[in-house]
Amino acid sequence: QRRIGIMTSGGDAPGMNGAVRAVVRMSIFMGCEAYAIYEGYEGLVQGGSLIKQMHWDDVRGYLSEGGTLIGTARCKAFMERPGRLQGAKHMVMAGIDALVICGGDGSLTGADKFRKEWPGLLDELVAKKELTAEQKRTYQHLNIVGLVGSIDNDMSSTDATIGCYSSLARICEAIDCIDATAESHQRAFVIEVMGRHCGWLALMAGVSTSADFIFIPEKPPSENWEAEMCSIIRRHREMGKRKTIVIVAEGAHDLALRKVTPTRVKDLLSNDLKLDTRITTLGHVQRGGRPCAYDRMLSTLQGVEAVRAVLNATPDTPSPVICVIENKIVRKPLLKAVEDTLEVAKAIEAKDFSRAMHLRDAE
Ligand code: ADP
């Protein structure tokens, strides 16, 4: 009987619980046993009570809960081989030879590395007499399947990551709240939105709330962005708009291209346009709360597909990541998806925007 592990890792995202529930229940439905690895890779490294069999009832109510109920962590030990060696030992001891990981590009990179090293790790454990040759033979192949859980929607090869639409909905709700007070006092707000290297949340939040101006990391501001922004906002005000919303993506702030920072934008609005301006950094409200219907659906369909991918895998199949492309749930090679994602991030960091856009278009 196969034993399939499920883990959430990296930054939490709404919908991760739905993925855990789907993997647990589909595993049981297919006649396998399901194991939750608690606290991300920390659970593999430490083993013991952090690896726990999950029954059908254990995931009841998971679908509508925010965050991740089996915990997540950033685990330094797993970045090093000795940590992964411990992880391999604990997996074999628990009889698990397939792992579904719901996380971001970092977590999925770690997973692929783990699979590549797996035979060598088992050899080392046998040499150290921590495992028997028989155990090595039984568990010689490790299956890895990735699910992309991230609010940032920053993964190549998929149209949406689990969590991004819940986060977008939360951001829109928060901006609606700010809108009401801004409109009452005729104020301007500069709102910083999460997303790491990716401007998707900021751009879509801007579109969905009719923001006056948006800064995203993928598109550098023009040379005369100050004059351009002020003239647009002045025009909006002349047309009778009583509030002003400027959205700055976290990634745009970090790059501070042409000195775009929330403070600089606020100073311009205050000094040049004489608007009473406040800065609001939305922060972790963007991560929390109940997953929206789309994320419940996506995490469920993808969790089911992840178990199918485990059961169809052969030793030569490259590790897949479960994606959604044009509304279809599909498998893509995990390593390529991670590599493409890192390429875009690198291009943005190097301020090579045309390359970043070209890579995104090519997806
Ligand atoms: P995310 O998955 O959201 O991108 P991180 O990049 O923080 O988040 O990765 C989460 C965890 O995955 C790390 O704390 C570490 O345990 C593991 N990990 C990330 N990158 C690697 C790597 N290159 N090798 C091994 N493990 C990694």
Pocket residue to mutate for ligand 1, from 44, 46, 78, 105, most atoms within 8 A of Cβ: 78
Calpha distance 114→110 (Å, rounded): 6
Residues in Cβ contact with 6 at an 8 Å cutoff, skipping those fewer than 6 apart? 19, 20, 23, 24, 34, 35, 36, 37, 54, 70, 99, 100, 102
Per-residue pLDDT at 356: 85
Closest C-alpha to ligand 1, atom 9? 106
Give me the helices (H) in 48-96, please.
Answer: 81-94
Q: Taking the CA atoms of the chain, what radius of gyration do you get in angstroms?
A: 23
- In sequence order, the β-bridge partners of residue 332 are 321
Residue 82 exposure: Cα atoms within 13 Å on the Cβ side: 2
- Is 75 a pocket residue for ligand 1 (Cβ < 6 Å)? yes
Give the containing element (helix H, strand E) for 7: strand 3-8
Tell me how far CA of residue 106 lies from CA of 10, 87, 102, 155, in angstroms: 7, 17, 11, 11
C-alpha torsion sign, points 190, 196, 201, 203: positive
Q: Which two tokens stand for residue 249?
A: 């993506």
Closest ligand 1 atom to 41 CA? 16
- Chain CA centroid to CA 58, Å: 24
- Is 320 a pocket residue for ligand 1 (Cβ < 6 Å)? no
Of the candidates 97, 152, 212, 340, the residue annotated as catalytic is 152
Per-residue pLDDT at 363: 65
Question: Is residue 145 classed as helix, strand or coil in its secondary structure?
Answer: strand
Which pTM value belongs to this model?
Answer: 0.95
Per-residue pLDDT at 160: 97
Cα 40 to averaged position of ligand 1 atoms, centre (Å)? 9
Place of tokens 């990296």: 10
Give the containing element (helix H, strand E) for 338: helix 334-349
Calpha distance 314→328 (Å, rounded): 23
Closest C-alpha to ligand 1, atom 15? 75
Note whether ipTM > 0.90 here: yes
Closest C-alpha to ligand 1, atom 22? 110
Among 18, 278, 49, 286, residue whose Cα is nearest residue 147: 18
Closest C-alpha to ligand 1, atom 10? 10
Closest C-alpha to ligand 1, atom 6? 106
Pocket residue to mutate for ligand 1, from 16, 68, 74, 156, most atoms within 8 A of Cβ: 74
Q: Which two tokens stand for residue 28?
A: 């049981």
pLDDT average per 10 residues of sequence, the chain (363 residues): 96 97 98 98 98 98 98 97 98 96 95 95 97 95 96 94 98 97 97 95 97 94 94 98 97 88 97 98 92 98 98 92 97 94 89 83 69
Calpha distance 95→113 (Å, rounded): 20
- Catalytic (active site) residue 340: no
Tell me how far CA of residue 267 lies from CA of 10, 185, 188, 202, 228, in angstroms: 35, 18, 11, 21, 15
Per-residue pLDDT at 316: 86
